[in-house]
Structure formats: C-alpha cells, structure tokens
Homo-oligomer: A and B are copies of this chain.
C-alpha cells in the first residue's frame, strides 16, 4: 500500500530516507557482516554509533560542554520518578507547573518522594493555555521547578521560558524535542521520549547540567541514578542499541535539513498552513489560546462529536490516519512532527476543506 500520512501523537512518522537506510542496512551494517540488532554494545562498531549519535545531538542542539547527554530507557514516565529521586536533595521540595496530564502525572509521582507543590495549573480551562508565571511565583527554596514544554494532548506550547531565578529548571520536551532551536543553558535538565521526533519508541534522551549530578537519594534504583548513567556514558547496562542507531540516522537527517533552523522553518510552514485553514473555517475550530499554540500538535473540533468521528473515519479512508483527538478532550488532533512532509499537511487541509463543503 502507498505510504499513509500518519498524524499519530507518538510513536509517529519517521523520515522515509531514514527508513530506507535502516532497511538497506538491516542484514549488514557498513559491511561488518552483522545487523545492528545483533551487535554487541561493547563492540567498536556500536561504540562509534553511540559516540556519533551523542556528537550529532550536541552539535544540533548546541549543548554546552558542562552538560551530559544521556540515552535512557523507561520513557518519560520513568523520569517522573527519577527526577525527584535525583534532584529533590536539598530541601526535599519542588515546584511543578501543571499544564496537562503528563505534567500532572509527573507532579503526582514526585509526591512519593517529597513536597511537590503545584505552582500553577491550567486545568480550569481543560489545559487550553499556558499560565504566565514570573520569578515571584516560585519558591526560592525549591530544589527545582518542573514544566512540560509542549502539551501533546491539548496542543499547547510555552511561548516563553519561565524565569525561575536560581532555582534549577527542568523541562519535559518529549513532543517538541528537536523541532526548533532551544537555549539549553536556561535549563538544568531537558529530556524527552524519542518516539515523536527522534527515533522509534524505547529511548529517552536527557541533557543534564553536570553540577546537578551525584546527590541522588539512597533509595534511588541504580538504573535511575543519572550519575551512574553519566559515569558509564549511557552504557551501565545493555542499552536499546537499535533504537539508538535509528536515532543517529534521524540526527543525520536533521542535519541534512539545515539543522534546527531548517527544521523550524519547515515546521512553521506546516503549522501555518493548518492553523490558517482552521482560523478561516466555519466548521473546524482550534480552541487553544492563540499565543500558546503548539507547532507540533494541532487540536481542533467541529463542536459535534458525531461529525468529528465521521471526519476521522473518512480521513482514514483517504490515507490520513490517527486524527482522533485524545480521549480526554475528544475532537481531532493532527500531530505534525518533523518527519511529516509539507505535502502531508496540504493533503490534510485539502481533505478538511472538502469535508467542510460536503457537510455544511
């Protein structure tokens, strides 16, 4: 079958070039007579893969030398525990900004390990906006401030980086990782699951400032101790080697697209096409606070559940899949991550316009 346009919130599309390269090398990686799926993580071939991946990551994200780049397992949800276990280590308290279900889960998990305070929440309006916070809103005694930069389910993104003063800022960037340049120096840690913009599922990339490391609670599971992972260069135990190889291929693709500036331009173009359509549509509405709109996840509704469902169904019949909104808010959602081509969004808009005409 022809390749579909996959608007899944994650796992999601990978660049076709990357898939073709992976396919080509599946039985024999660079003439070494093995597949990367079979390769010892202590081999010189894999050592080059992981080092290249880290080097590309540092280059593309412009990661300063005093930050570690770690490749981890367990998804963002494992970090929800690891973050308080590693960093709630001075006053045993932290500030959480709750802008969606995932930030809320992180906040709830942190309560197992210390005083996790909800600084602000946008739950009053079904997480359709990002709270505006200033330095005075944060507890200067907090061990860190936690935020989720892009909220996949609701289609919001922080239009600013909160000023937390001297309190370390930690951000889950799972669904906007590598979608545009990010000033890493504003954060003590940024991390995200790979399954949106980086690689297939099963990998987390974390960028952590070195001075944060080394004071995990004694009850921290060894695999969740970031210092252990940093000291072992992400090879404390066998890592998800093949997923890291795919990550390397995606990073090479990003570089070939002009790095994060090139990627950003492409993402802005795609988002503009879709938001412009929605803003001019009489049937479909994006209900997010305009300045907090996500570049990656575009949510919209007709206001009629049956019509929403009909639209999702007919879109699928046209090769536009996974447009159903998250069950918690309903409606539709188009996730237009890095690998979604401009043509995919154009096809979607053309389909939606046609659907509107036929159903008005």
Q: Which A residues are within 8 Å of any B CB, using their own CB? A: 1-4, 6, 8-14, 16, 19-20, 22-23, 26-28, 31-35, 37-41, 43, 73-78, 80-82, 85, 109, 112-113, 193, 195, 200-203, 218-219, 221-224, 236-243, 246, 319, 321-322
Contact = CB atoms under 8 A, between A and B. Distances in A.
A26 B221 CA distance: 35
Given A74-B73, A237-B75, A3 B32 contact: no
Contacts of A28: 1, 3
Given A19-B26, A23-B27, A242 B241 contact: no
Contacts of A76: 237
Copies of the chain in the assembly: 2
A37 B9 contact: no
A322 B223 contact: no
A20 B11 contact: no
A27 B20 contact: yes
Given A11-B40, A41-B201, A73-B75, A85 B239 contact: no
A242 B201 contact: yes
Contacts of A26: 19, 22-23, 26
B35 A14 contact: yes
A30 to B, nearest CB: 9
Chain B CB within 10 Å, residue with most, of A37, A112, A218, A219: A37
Contacts of A193: 238
A345 B296 CA distance: 51
Contacts of A13: 34, 38
Contacts of A322: 40, 43
A217 B237 CA distance: 25
B222 A77 contact: yes
